[in-house]
Amino acid sequence: MSVLEVVTAGPLTSVQDFGRFGAQRYGITPSGAMDRLSLAAANALVDRPLSAPAIEIGPTKTVFTVRGGALCVALSGALRFTRIGDDPCPLYRTMTLREGETLTLDATRKGMFSYLAVSGTLKGEPVFGSFSVNARAGLGSPYPRPLQGGDQLAFENTVSLPDRSMVPPVFGDGDIRVVPGPQYDEFGKSTGTFFNSPWQISPTSDRMGYRLEGPTVAHAGNFNIVSDGTVDGSIQVAGGQPIVLMKDRGTTGGYPKIATIISADLGRFAQTRPRHTFRFAIVDVDAAQQETRAFHALLQSLPGKVRINT
Amino acid sequence: MSNKPAPPSEPRILTCGDTALAVEFGTTMDAGCNRRVFALDRVLKSIPFKGITETVPTYRSLLVHYDPLRLGFSELSDHLLTLLDQPETTERRFRHWRVPVFYDGLDLADVAKAHDMPAEELIRRHSTPRYDVAMIGFTPGFSYLRGLDPVIATPRRTQPRISTPAGTISIGGVQAALQCLAGPSGWHLLGRTPVRTFDPRRDPVFLIEPGDNVTFEQIDAAEFARLERLAERGEAVAELIA
């Protein structure tokens, strides 16, 4: 059995899969990978199920080492300098980490999250069908919290793979698409402000929510509503400042929601760095669901996009 | 582009992205509204429909999560509207829990003073009602309770606390709460219960369902310590009255 050991990790580094469903009525949020497309691509490269648990690595410098035997790994997602020992480690390509070697990921240059998948089965116990870390609920496996230096992730049934690579998959570009939220009508003319203004993401954002910086968005009820349910990508407005609820969101909320980011664009949005300017564009639910189908088709096509280099 | 308008008091179907919708029965904490939420939730539980993945009942709406690869927005909306027209046939049976509380909250004295009553009177008024678990949300197992004695309703604190203990029993505005995990709160802390509504190591993991009833019972420090030890070993320590 080979072990991937964390040497240093930033606060946004944790084990994630596609998430935990069925217990939102008890306040358990699904969690799961911030960028499902990148997680699935890393898994496809190491010949694992697309939704298998892998390591989601945040934007700061992170270092791993290997004990107990070699591991075949693949990295996807954010652009950053990455090396094995002193040698550059390409993204979207299988690499072998030998016993005692270190894998270093510098801070990201473009994007927020990387995914490190291993060609083996992560040892742990899924909780409600998922390994995903939900730190607030104390859920997740093998550690029910973000990763820290010294943590050891054991992998069984590891296999050595040939040199495999993939052109990084992309889905959509430009404006982040949204459908009207449940309290859309209560924002009146402010919906114009919301859609016609450029936005930036605040550096204080995390897996619970991305705060947006831009103009003040007014609400007819002074931002108070009787709590109702939330979804991934809900854009709630508290005191005029929009917050996009992400994977570790609360399951209910007492602030009005102007819009919801469509599920196919949420991973791309999650990879948006602070200070980068973007806009929202409105679409209807039918158009959003066409995008959902296209996104799902892209996910399913990933294993077929893996090239074996000879 | 906006959500479908409907006359007042008629349920509205609201889009929540492309994988969920809300059936909204009202915009207040009205008891009748909350009952209609649970009625639809029960109907959906008893008549499975392809593509519905989970539901989240709240004070005034039912959030229905679905898989858009199997079920479109219009098809689901039509189905839900059909269900709303049908009278409820399933029998309503909610469980009633007795939840022990040690009234040692940081705000107990201040709240009693604000209402010009002795702490004993505040405790009596807080532990008398049969509350409805109107919804569970915010954090795992955080139960919002409807039915607080209006005499002790207290506006929320202007300065929320960053951290409050697990098992916190609090009131905020016209609501009462049974909080499971340690976490932030802007409500007034009246006491603590050893009951954990959520414990991933216990079977059942979740004790209290949305729609259940709760009544509080005052216990002393020694009993709290005893029950907390039992709870740590995975016992429910809440008593099912009915």
What is the interface pTM, i.e. ipTM, of the complex?
Answer: 0.96
What the block records as the tokens of A213 is: 């910086």
Residue B200 has pLDDT above 50, yes or no: yes
Question: Do residues B107 and B149 both lie within one domain?
Answer: yes
pLDDT of residue A145: 97
CB within 8 Å of chain B, chain A residues 226-245: 226-234
Domain boundary among A135, A165, A195: A165
Q: Would you call B72 and A289 a contact, using CB atoms and an 8 Å cutoff?
A: yes
- Of A27, A293, A296, nearest to B137 by CB-CB distance is A27
Question: Considering the domain boundaries, does residue B154 fall inside one?
Answer: yes
Spell out which residues of chain A touch residue B2, defining contact as CB-CB under 8 Å: 180, 184-185
Average pLDDT over residues B83-89: 75
A-B C-beta contacts closer than 8 Å: 156
CA-based nearest residue to B27, from B65, B55, B58, B63: B58
Domain boundary among B45, B65, B85: B85
Say how many domains are in chain B. Answer: 2
Question: Considering the domain boundaries, does residue A304 fall inside one?
Answer: no
By DSSP bridging, strand B20-24 and strand B61-66 are: antiparallel
Say how many domains are in chain A. Answer: 2
Question: Do residues A212 and A138 both lie within one domain?
Answer: no
CA-based nearest residue to A47, from A129, A170, A159: A159
Rg (CA), chain A: 20
Spell out which residues of chain A touch residue B69, defining contact as CB-CB under 8 Å: 292-293, 296
Average pLDDT over residues B143-161: 93
Q: How far is A247 from chain B (nearest CA, A)?
A: 13
pLDDT of residue A142: 98
- Of B15, B144, B200, nearest to A180 by CB-CB distance is B15
Distance between CA atoms of residues B34 and B88, nearest Å? 15
- Residue-wise burial string across B110-121, b where 16 or more C-beta atoms lie within 10 A, e elsewhere: ebbeeeebeeee
Question: Considering the domain boundaries, does residue B139 fall inside one?
Answer: yes
Question: Do residues B61 and B129 both lie within one domain?
Answer: no
Q: Would you call A26 and B141 a contact, using CB atoms and an 8 Å cutoff?
A: yes
Residue B138 has pLDDT above 90, yes or no: no
Are A77 and A108 contacting, i.e. CB atoms less than 8 angstroms apart? no
- Of B3, B138, B144, nearest to A184 by CB-CB distance is B3
Question: Considering the domain boundaries, does residue B3 fall inside one?
Answer: no
pLDDT of residue B89: 62
Neighbouring C-beta atoms of residue B186, cutoff 10 Å: 13
B18, B29, B41: which to substitute to probe chain A, counting the most A Cβ within 10 Å? B18
Question: Considering the domain boundaries, does residue A171 fall inside one?
Answer: no
Average pLDDT over residues A33-48: 98
CATH number of the domain residue B212 falls in:
2.40.100.10
Tell me the average pLDDT of chain A.
Answer: 96
Distance between CA atoms of residues A56 and B200, nearest Å? 23
What percent of chain B has a predicted confidence (pLDDT) above 90? 81
pLDDT band of B80, cuts 50, 70, 90 = very high
Question: Do residues A89 and A127 both lie within one domain?
Answer: yes
| Helix residue ranges per DSSP H, chain B | 31-46, 73-85, 108-114, 119-127, 221-232
Distance between CA atoms of residues B2 and A184, nearest Å? 7
Distance between CA atoms of residues B82 and A272, nearest Å? 42
Average pLDDT over residues A93-116: 97
B14, B16, B65: which to substitute to probe chain A, counting the most A Cβ within 10 Å? B16
Question: Considering the domain boundaries, does residue B6 fall inside one?
Answer: no
Question: Considering the domain boundaries, does residue A238 fall inside one?
Answer: yes
Domain boundary among B54, B85, B116: B85
pLDDT band of B168, cuts 50, 70, 90 = very high
Distance between CA atoms of residues B226 and B242, nearest Å? 24
Question: Do residues B204 and B118 both lie within one domain?
Answer: yes
Average pLDDT over residues B201-224: 95
Q: Would you call B24 and A228 a contact, using CB atoms and an 8 Å cutoff?
A: yes
Residue B237 has pLDDT above 80, yes or no: yes
Average pLDDT over residues A66-95: 97
DSSP 8-class letter at B16: B
Distance between CA atoms of residues A195 and B162, nearest Å? 34
Question: Do residues A189 and A269 both lie within one domain?
Answer: yes
Question: Do residues A110 and A250 both lie within one domain?
Answer: no
Question: Do residues A134 and A8 both lie within one domain?
Answer: yes
Question: Considering the domain boundaries, does residue B51 fall inside one?
Answer: yes
pLDDT of residue B7: 39
CATH number of the domain residue A267 falls in:
2.40.100.10
Question: Do residues B80 and B101 both lie within one domain?
Answer: no
Domain around B102: 96-240
Spell out which residues of chain B touch residue A264, defining contact as CB-CB under 8 Å: 18
Question: Considering the domain boundaries, does residue B160 fall inside one?
Answer: yes
pLDDT of residue B174: 93
Question: Do residues A79 and A104 both lie within one domain?
Answer: yes
Question: Do residues A180 and A267 both lie within one domain?
Answer: yes
How many degrees, rounded to 5, is the angle at CA A144 between CA A92 and CA A114?
15
The larger pLDDT score, comparing residue A6 to residue B93, is at: A6
pLDDT band of A303, cuts 50, 70, 90 = very high
Spell out which residues of chain A touch residue B68, defining contact as CB-CB under 8 Å: 263, 289, 292-293
CB within 8 Å of chain A, chain B residues 119-138: 135-138
pLDDT band of A310, cuts 50, 70, 90 = confident
Tell me the average pLDDT of chain B.
Answer: 92
Question: Do residues A19 and A106 both lie within one domain?
Answer: yes
pLDDT of residue B94: 77
Question: Do residues B202 and B109 both lie within one domain?
Answer: yes
pLDDT of residue A136: 86
Domain boundary among A138, A165, A192: A165
CATH number of the domain residue B65 falls in:
3.30.1360.40
pLDDT of residue B88: 66
Residue A183 has pLDDT above 90, yes or no: yes
Question: Considering the domain boundaries, does residue B2 fall inside one?
Answer: no
Average pLDDT over residues B99-109: 98
By DSSP bridging, strand A176-180 and strand A280-282 are: parallel
pLDDT of residue A239: 87
pLDDT of residue B160: 86
Question: Do residues A157 and A206 both lie within one domain?
Answer: no
A227, A248, A284: which to substitute to probe chain B, counting the most B Cβ within 10 Å? A227
Spell out which residues of chain B touch residue A292, defining contact as CB-CB under 8 Å: 18-19, 68-69
Q: How far is B118 from chain A (nearest CA, A)?
A: 31
Tokens 């791993």 correspond to A64
Domain boundary among B85, B114, B138: B85
Domain around A190: 176-298
Question: Do residues B214 and B157 both lie within one domain?
Answer: yes
Domain boundary among A165, A189, A220: A165
Question: Do residues A160 and A122 both lie within one domain?
Answer: yes
Of all residues in chain B, the one with the smallest CA distance to A139 is: B200
Tell me, yes or no, if B139 comes closer than 8 A to chain A by beta carbon: yes
Question: Do residues A131 and A16 both lie within one domain?
Answer: yes
Question: Do residues A111 and A65 both lie within one domain?
Answer: yes
